[in-house]
């Protein structure tokens, strides 16, 4: 079983989540928008095993290099988005005046990849559209959707690597999942697959 906590961080108010396996006490961050006193306090004395990145945009990776250095967590990102970790141009930070420190990936994932966090299994779903390498992380009754699926909305597709066609395909795929799944998005509030199927215009 896993527990989930969240915090808003960074200038774009991105969500950062802490997933903790209750049996082993091991934890993982989902996205890492910034390194700050608030972030350090949020992590506390957690046994941080992974930093799971839903995609490579600057507002989701701003704290990766520092948090990895301090806590020794393994950085997990899709194979397609891995180059964004070291390029302000690719991660868009160079255009927003907020270029993250370059970070190195430890684990590259693709569709169907699985990670183990204590007794919790984490499955990777490839959901391109916002970026070519956007992924969702599925585990224990919940899914972390990054900038693919939001509360009653979805991520932008007009950035480099974005595709409205791929986004619609990814949302269709998510709509086929168990309606009871709790959705933890990259921005805004949590929701469920069932609620989004009934209320999100992009999933009808």
- CATH classification of the domain holding 46: 3.60.15.10
Per the structure, how many domains does the chain have? 1
pLDDT for position 173: 98
The verdict on pTM exceeding 0.95 is yes
Q: Which domain holds residue 92?
A: 2-203
Residue-wise pLDDT for 115-127, tens only, equals 999 999 999 999 9
pLDDT for position 104: 97
SS3 83: helix
pLDDT for position 10: 65
Residue ranges for the chain with pLDDT beneath 70: 10-11
What the block records as the tokens of 204 is 């009808």
pLDDT for position 4: 98
What are 166-173's contacts with CB under 8 Å, separation 24+? 166/128, 166/129, 167/128, 167/129, 167/130, 167/202, 168/129, 168/202, 169/128, 169/129, 170/127, 170/128, 170/129, 170/134, 171/129, 171/202, 171/203, 172/203, 173/125, 173/127
């Amino acid at each position: 079983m896993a527990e989930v906590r969240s915090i808003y961080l960074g200038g774009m108010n991105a969500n950062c989540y802490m997933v903790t396996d209750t049996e082993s006490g091991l934890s993982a961050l989902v996205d890492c928008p910034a390194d700050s006193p608030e972030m350090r306090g949020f992590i506390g004395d957690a046994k941080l095993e992974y930093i799971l990145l839903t995609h490579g945009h600057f507002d989701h990776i701003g704290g990766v290099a520092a948090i990895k250095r301090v806590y020794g967590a393994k950085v997990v990102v899709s194979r397609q988005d891995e180059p964004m970790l070291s390029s302000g141009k690719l991660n868009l930070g160079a255009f927003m005046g907020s270029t993250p420190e370059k970070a190195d990936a430890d684990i590259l994932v693709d569709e169907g990849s699985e990670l183990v966090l204590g007794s919790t299994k984490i499955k990777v779903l490839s959901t391109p559209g916002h970026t070519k390498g956007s992924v969702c992380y599925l585990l224990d009754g919940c899914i972390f959707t990054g900038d693919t699926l939001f509360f009653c909305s979805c991520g932008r597709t007009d950035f480099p690597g974005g595709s409205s066609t791929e986004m619609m395909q990814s949302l269709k795929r998510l709509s086929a999942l168990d309606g009871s799944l709790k959705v933890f998005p990259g921005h805004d509030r949590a929701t469920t697959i069932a609620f989004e199927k009934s209320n999100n215009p992009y999933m009808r």
